[in-house]
Amino acid sequence: MGGSLLWFRQDLRLADHPALVAALQQGPVLPVYILDPAVLAERGAASKVWLHHSLQALDAALQARGNRLLVCAGDTAQQLQTLVQHYQLDQIVCQHDYTPAARRHEKQLHQALSAAGIAIRSFQHSLLLEPWQVKTKTGGPYKVFTPFWRNAQTLLADFQPPLATPEQIPGPQIQHSSASLPPEDWGLLPTIRWDTGMMNHWQVGEAAAADKLQAFFKVMTHYHSQRDLPDQAGTSQLSPHLHFGEISPRQIWQAAMQQPESEGRRIFLNEIGWREFAYHVLWHFPDTPREPLNAQFKAFPWADKPQDLKAWQQGLTGYPIVDAGMRQLWRTGWMHNRVRMIVASFLTKHLLQPWQSGADWFWDTLVDADLASNTLGWQWAGGCGADAAPYFRIFNPITQGQKFDAQGQYVRRWVPELAGLPDKWLHEPWEAPPLVLQAAGVQLGGNYPAPIIDHSFARQRALAALAQIKKS
Ligand SMILES: Cc1cc2nc3c(=O)[nH]c(=O)nc-3n(C[C@H](O)[C@H](O)[C@H](O)COP(=O)(O)OP(=O)(O)OC[C@H]3O[C@@H](n4cnc5c(N)ncnc54)[C@H](O)[C@@H]3O)c2cc1C
C-alpha cells in the first residue's frame, strides 16, 4: 500500500511540522499517538490532563483535513510495528525527543524496528537549534546563558521560516476507526475530577496557542517592565503549549520578528533562548534531573522535615507571596515565573528541603511541567546548576512581595483570608498590630498560619549550611 506512520510525541500540531511534510511526500499518512504505560508513568498528573485535551484538539484538526488521530495503548515498539505491518506502510516519521529516558528508549526502539525491517526518520521540531549545535570555542557545552545565547543567535541568522499547515492530510485506505481508543479509555484524566477547575483557566490545542500568541503581541512591548509582576497578564502563558508542541519556537520567533522592534520583544525572545539553554544543558548533562550540576552540592545538609515540605505544597507557610504562588499552582496548574523563583528559593534555602522535592511537586502539578526547564529552574534556585543564582543570594519573601506585588492584588486573589489587610502589612501580617489583624478578620495561627520559620534565622541557617559544603 505504502505511506507513512506519523508518530506524534511532543509535537501536537499540524503547522511547522517537518515530519508531517516529509510523510505527505510519501503518500497517505497514518497519524498515531501511543499511550505507552512506561512513558506515561513519568508524566505528572496535571500534564496528563493537558495531554488528554491536546490529543482531542489534534484529532479535531486532523478530522478537518480528512484524517484522524489513531490513539492506542501499549509498548511503543510493539504498537508501531503492528500498525506499520497492518497498514502496509513504508516508514515511520517522528520528532526528536531530547529527554534522557526518551534517548535510552529510542535506541532500543530503533534496534527493534530495524530488526523488523522498518525505517524510522526523526526530525527537529521543538527547538530553534539542536542542543548540540551551539558549542563553545573548544567544542564543549555552555554552562552560562549569556555566551550560549549570543552564539545561538549568530546561528539563527540561517533561520528557516516555519512550514505551512497542509490543507489536506489523506489517510490510508484501510479504515482505522475501530482500532482507536476512545478518550474515556485513555486513562489520562483523574478518577476524582479535581481537574475541571484547573482547566477553566485554559484553552488547549494548536488554535488556542496561536490565539494566545496574538493576544500576547498586544502587550509584548511592555514585557520587559511587566513580566515580573505576577498580578499582571504581562507574560505569554505559552509554556504548556510549547511543552506539548502545540506551537513551535520557530513559529513564535518568526511571528515576533514581524512585530515592531522593542525592548519587550528582545527580552521575550531571550526567554525563548532560556528554553533552548535548558535543553542544551539537559542534553549535555543528562543526570541533572536528579544530580546537581555543581557536584559540591551532593554533600549539602538538607533538613529532614517532611512537614515543612507539606506546608509549602499546601500554601500554608505563613509567607503570603509564597502561599499565593503555591495556591495559584494548585488551582491553575501554572505559576508566574517571578513567584516560581521565590517559592523555589524559599523551599531550598529557608526550609532547606532538597530541590528535587520541589521539582517533583512542580512536575506533578504544573501543566507546563518540562524536564529541561524544570530542572534548570530548580537547580538555578537551589544555587547548584548551570548559570545558577549564587546560593548566598537568598530571596527575602517579604521584600520580594512588597516589590513585585506592591498593591497586594496577587496575594489577595490567591490568599483571600488576608484580603482585608492594608497593603502595609499584607506581606508580613505577623508585624500588624492586633487591632489591624482583628479588623481584617485575620487570626494568625487560626485562619492563616504564623510564619513557619523566621526569615533572619533561616537566612543564617542556609548560609551556615553553605559554609559546611564549601569546607568539605
Ligand atoms: C523553579 C522553576 C521551575 C520551572 N519549571 C518550568 C517547567 O516545568 N516548564 C516550563 O516551561 N518552564 C519552567 N520554568 C521557567 C518559567 O518559569 C516558565 O517557562 C514561565 O513562567 C512560563 O510562563 P510564560 O509562558 O508566561 O513565559 P514567558 O515569560 O511568556 O516566556 C515565553 C516562553 O519562554 C520560555 N521560558 C521563559 N522563562 C524560562 C526559563 N526561566 N527557563 C526556560 N524557559 C523559559 C517558556 O517556554 C515560556 O513559555 C521554571 C522556572 C523556575 C524558576
Q: Is the CB of 220 under 6 A from ligand 1?
A: no
Q: What is the CA radius of gyration of the chain?
A: 24
Domain, as residue range, for 138:
127-161+207-284
Candidate list 194, 253, 302, 430, residue with the active-site label: 302
pLDDT in tens, 323-357: 999 999 999 999 999 999 999 999 999 999 999 99
Asked if the structure places residue 176 within a domain, the reply is no
Other beta carbons less than 10 A from residue 15's beta carbon: 19
Same domain, 302 and 400: yes
> 72: helix, coil or strand?
strand
Arithmetic mean of pLDDT, 83-99: 93
**Is 355 designated active site?**
yes
CATH number of 339's domain: 1.10.579.10
Candidate list 194, 253, 274, 430, residue with the active-site label: 274
Look at residues 284, 304, 334 and tell me which one is the last residue of a structural domain: 284
Buried b (16+ CB within 10 A) or exposed e, 132-168: eebeeeeeebbbebeebbebbbeebeeeeebbebbee
Return the sign of the alpha-carbon dihedral for residues 139, 140, 144, 148: positive
Other beta carbons less than 10 A from residue 368's beta carbon: 21
- What's the pLDDT at 37? 95
Candidate list 271, 291, 417, 430, residue with the active-site label: 271
CATH number of 214's domain: 1.25.40.80
Q: Is the CB of 227 under 6 A from ligand 1?
A: yes
Q: Which ligand 1 atom sits closest to the C-alpha of 242? A: 47
Same domain, 410 and 459: yes
Asked if the structure places residue 177 within a domain, the reply is no
Please tell me the distance between residue 337's alpha carbon and the centre of ligand 1 in angstroms: 6
Buried b (16+ CB within 10 A) or exposed e, 309-318: bebbbebbbb
pLDDT in tens, 284-301: 999 999 999 999 999 999
Grid coordinates representing 260 are: 515592531
- What's the pLDDT at 16? 98
Same domain, 363 and 445: yes
pLDDT in tens, 92-105: 999 999 999 999 88
pLDDT in tens, 436-470: 999 999 999 999 999 999 999 999 999 999 999 98
Share of the chain above pLDDT 70, in %: 99
**Is 337 designated active site?**
yes
Q: Where are the alpha helices (DSSP H) in 66-204?
A: 76-86, 100-115, 145-155, 195-199
Arithmetic mean of pLDDT, 372-386: 96
Asked if the structure places residue 166 within a domain, the reply is no
> What is the separation of C-alpha 48 from the centre of its chain, rounded to a whole number of angstroms?
13
Please tell me the distance between residue 466's alpha carbon and the centre of ligand 1 in angstroms: 27
- What's the pLDDT at 228? 97
> 136: helix, coil or strand?
coil
Comparison of pLDDT for 392 and 247, the residue scoring more: 247
Arithmetic mean of pLDDT, 121-137: 95
- What's the pLDDT at 18? 97
Please name the amino acid found at residue 365.
T
- What's the pLDDT at 173? 81
pLDDT in tens, 392-436: 889 999 999 999 999 999 999 999 999 999 999 999 999 999 999
Arithmetic mean of pLDDT, 174-184: 77
Arithmetic mean of pLDDT, 189-200: 96
Same domain, 445 and 383: yes
- What's the pLDDT at 176? 58
| Beta-sheet strand order (sheet of 4-8) | 70-73, 29-35, 4-8, 91-95, 119-123
Nearest to 219 by CA among 253, 251, 254, 267: 267
Judge whether 431 and 425 are in contact, CB under 8 Å. yes
Same domain, 73 and 131: no
Using 50, 70 and 90 to split pLDDT, how confident is the model at 178? low
**Is 302 designated active site?**
yes
Judge whether 379 and 385 are in contact, CB under 8 Å. yes
Asked if the structure places residue 436 within a domain, the reply is yes
**Distance in angstroms (rounded) separating the CA atoms of residues 57 and 68:** 11
Q: Which ligand 1 atom sits closest to the C-alpha of 363? A: 8
Residue tagged 513519568 (cell numbers): 42
